[in-house]
Amino acid sequence: MNIIDYFKLQAKNLHRDFKTQFFDGEWYDYTPRFFDVTQITLDFDPDEEKLTLMYAQHLIAKMAGFRKWTRLLKASDAELQLAKLLFDNMHKIKPVEWEMYLVQQQDDSNVIFDAETRLEIFTMVFANVDGHESMFADYRLKKKKITPTENQPIKSMKKKSTAEIFSLPLTGANRKKFIETANSAFERVIERVEPEHPELVRELWNPEEYIDVFALKPDILPVDRDYALSLIDTFMVHHVIALAVQTDID
């Protein structure tokens, strides 16, 4: 299923939820399966007598970061990929919060990010990192968990790493692992960002300084080692762009 078809399906599901509407004598109520229609009507204040498929499409577009459905249909591949990530991660960040984040990052870097860079930043900072939580409501209804029965054996889960970091700066094997991770992330990002002077950016790149000064700070301690490793990617795009800006100034 391509991304536009995915959003068409979401709009149809929202419209199905709209059609569960009933009047209880005082106000309209719903028995939805897919979306929190009550919260949606509170936030968007629609005419509840005109909850059409077209209006459902409009709302889905807004949830995905577009002002209207027609703009979504004309979006580029990178914009659509970002829109789907925004929609699928609305529990972490809403479009308005994402726009505020972008404005701050662009102001700090004095650079306007193109669609591909915005997609890269969102993927690294939000989509691939747990722990973010939006201050606004998630309009999607959570899927019910299936309770195992005698005919449904419980699958064993892989044990997650419980290693923690208690002090900084990193030393020994941890430091080596984090430097390797930082260098790999740097190479991915520099290829993606394509700075005007990549050789100068590479000269400025210092993985140890990045880990000690930018990525890991004492206020996060103690911290799960795997989560700390994920922070290496979180700030890398912004850091590489800052280095690129520095080469332009120099």
DSSP string for residues in 130-180? TT---SS---BPPPPPPPP-TTSPPPPPPPPP--EE-SSS--HHHHHHHHH
Per-run averaged pLDDT (10 residues), the chain, 250 residues = 96 98 91 96 91 97 96 97 97 92 82 90 87 89 54 44 80 91 91 86 94 86 82 81 78
Amino acid in the structure at residue 196:
E
Tell me whether residue 138 is in a domain.
no
**Taking Cα atoms as reference points, which of 181, 159, 157 lies closest to residue 232?**
181
The count of domains in the chain is 2
18 and 103 part of one domain: yes
Give pLDDT, residue 89.
96
Domain of 105 in residue numbering reads as 3-127
Tell me whether residue 239 is in a domain.
yes
Residue 212: both structure tokens together: 């000690």
| pTM value > 0.85 | no
Of the three residues 101, 127, 153, the one that is the final residue of a domain is 127
16 and 123 part of one domain: yes
Give pLDDT, residue 119.
93
Tell me whether residue 98 is in a domain.
yes
